[in-house]
Amino acid sequence: MPLGNRIEASQYAEATTVPVVAVLDDIRSGNNVGAFFRTADAFRLAGLHLCGFTAHPPHRDILKTALGSSEYVPWEAHSDAAAAIATLRQRGYRIAAIEQTPHSIPLTDWDPDPGTAWALVFGNEVRGIAPTTCDLADVVLEIPQFGAKKSLNVSVCGGIALWYAARALGGH
């Protein structure tokens, strides 16, 4: 979206959103959750789904990094990622797990059809996404990396993957 299309916080609920949600599965850091709220706001995503022991607003660490976006970006809580995925499938979402697996494809090779709604699943900072959760996904995507660590902070990963999805599905 051009800069001229920015909205005020009070307009978020009525604004057209990008048909993308983030599913946060057992994210242990409230700061990371807050960063996802900021990212969802930045790209005007449809919302967040907080699963397992992922902190929920008004957690102080979320409030610290969300900078107010947790007040208006829609979110829902689920007992686990499988429950969130089942709910989202019923609503017509396709599911992409963001994880490094033998069957994952590079994010840059993912070409989602415009007009489809997607849920991107992000996993625990240490364990990632469980293989059983990856099995529930339509596709498993990974961000190509070239360093020795072969990992990114989950909120950084979220920023990259959600920007890519918003760009592909939101017409920006």
CATH code of 7's domain: 3.40.1280.10
| Separation of alpha carbons 73 and 63, rounded Å | 13
Q: Report how many domains make up the chain.
A: 1
Instruction: Report residue 21: phi and psi, to 5°.
Output: -125, 155
Which residues of the chain fall short of a pLDDT of 70? 1-4, 171-172
Identify the pLDDT of residue 1.
42
Strand partners for 76: 49
Element (H, E) at 140: strand 139-142
Expressed as residue numbers, the domain containing 135 is: 3-170
Question: What torsion do the CA atoms of 139, 86, 45, 19 make, to the nearest 10 degrees?
Answer: 70
| Separation of alpha carbons 165 and 140, rounded Å | 14
